[in-house]
Amino acid sequence: MSAVMHILRTYFPKWCLPRPDRQSQKHLQHHIFRQLQTNHPTTALVEIKPSTEQVFPKCRFMQYRRANEHLKRLGMVSEDGNKMVELSSITCAAPNMMDFIHQKYSMDNLQDSVEFMTIEDVEDVDLSLLPPIDSPGKIIGIDCNYVDNCDEQHISIPREPSFHVKFATSITGALDNIKAHSLAKHIDYGCQLAVVMGKKCREVTPKEALNHVFGFMVVQDIVARDWNALLGGHSMDTFLPLGPTIVHRCHVPDVNNLWIKTFINGEERQSGNTRNMIFKVDFLIHRLSQYLTLCPGDIILTGTPAGAGAYRQPSCFLKPGDLIESEIQNLGRMCNKVVNPYS
């Protein structure tokens, strides 16, 4: 319990906490967004010191609601997590991520305009963080796309990618609870790099594939291993935490060299790097586009490194009370608690 409280004190501002705790935790000023510009692996209990350098918000997009409002808003946050701007009320930007991607907004123009916008301190804004995208047309995942993940399963490296699908109703936020459905006894985790498409494409070449990408984000592909994937094993409600932001591809110079980590209750369970992908992002987009049309807002999950609970000795599945931290270099950190389905 003390480890959990230390994580909360280190990474969560007051607006990230459940409502009953906000008044008693006003002194908490550190932000989950501070992980956005992490360049070296951290452990779950290392305190991140705030940067003294002021930076303008960049193309790291979040969806949120302000306190006592039902209106969804779109904003950008700075690399150090200190500053934010709201786009949906002061620019021509749409108020939600899906419509914003379809707008094909110029990132250069948007970035040039930031200094003329109202810049707010994140810690002074009472808001609820939402999933950065919540209504994609397609969510497609790949199985066994890391060498070490194949090794732990004692299977040979695949020669062709194998895909599965998830449904949008499984999406939940970077700080939201994951429900341990009573019908699922073997609930497993797997931190993944997610690709968010920005342009419609069909039969695109690997060389041109990344030009059709909008950005990248962190996801946890939660799965009930005792359920058939097509009957809901991958797609139960709350089984796809994602966020906290979508980082535009212009801020991810090398998507094939990002470390990935998962902690369960403070214990490191996964530690990998996207350079160990068997099928790289450009090839996955190319291959999928041979079968179907990829559309703006579609999400591609690119696989998870070794360390999932099913392949540990002994196996170790998720249960109510577990705290899952998911982190990818430069993209951010999520923190989700597993809860009873009736809570």
C-alpha pair distances (Å), 105 with each of 71, 101, 134: 22, 7, 19
Determine the Cα–Cα distance for residues 35 and 50; give it in Å rounded to an integer.
10
Q: DSSP letter string over 56-116? A: ---SEEEEEEETT----EEEEE-TTSSEEEE-TTTSS--SSHHHHHHHT--HHHHHHHGGG
Residue 156 burial class via C-beta count within 10 angstroms: exposed 0-12, middle 13-18, buried 19 and up: exposed
Nearest to 263 by CA among 303, 300, 218: 218
How many other CB atoms are found less than 10 A from the CB of residue 258? Answer: 17
**What residues are paired with 14 via a beta bridge?**
none
The pLDDT value given to residue 29: 29
- Residue 262: CA atoms inside 13 Å, Cβ hemisphere, count? 26
Structure tokens at 83: 């500053």
**Residue reference for tokens 């779950």:** 44
Determine the Cα–Cα distance for residues 274 and 259; give it in Å rounded to an integer.
6
- Asked whether the beta carbons of 178 and 324 are under 8 A apart, the reply is yes
Peptide bond into 131 cis (omega under 30): no
Per-residue pLDDT tens over the stretch 39-77: 444 433 334 344 444 578 889 999 999 988 888 999 999
Per-residue pLDDT tens over the stretch 96-138: 999 999 999 889 988 888 888 889 998 888 999 999 999 999 9
Write the CB contacts of 215 (distance below 8 Å, at least 6 apart in sequence): 59, 61, 196, 198, 246, 247, 248, 249, 252
Q: What angle do CA 135, 139, 141 make, to 5 degrees?
A: 155
pTM of the entire predicted model: 0.85
Per-residue pLDDT tens over the stretch 72-92: 999 999 888 889 999 977 778
The pLDDT value given to residue 49: 45
Write the CB contacts of 99 (distance below 8 Å, at least 6 apart in sequence): none
Helix and strand element counts for the chain (H, E): 7, 19
Q: Walk along the chain (343 residues) and give the pLDDT tens digit of each residue.
A: 444 334 333 443 433 333 344 443 333 224 455 544 444 444 333 343 444 445 788 899 999 999 888 889 999 998 888 899 999 777 788 889 999 999 998 899 888 888 888 899 988 889 999 999 999 999 999 999 999 999 999 999 999 999 999 999 999 999 999 999 888 889 999 999 999 999 999 999 999 999 999 999 999 999 998 876 555 577 889 999 999 999 999 999 999 999 999 999 999 999 999 999 999 999 999 999 999 999 999 999 999 999 999 999 899 999 999 999 999 999 999 999 999 987 5
Nearest to 198 by CA among 264, 124, 249: 249
Determine the Cα–Cα distance for residues 64 and 95; give it in Å rounded to an integer.
10
Q: Estimate the share of the chain in helix, then strand, then coil, as percent rounded to the nearest 5.
A: 25, 30, 45
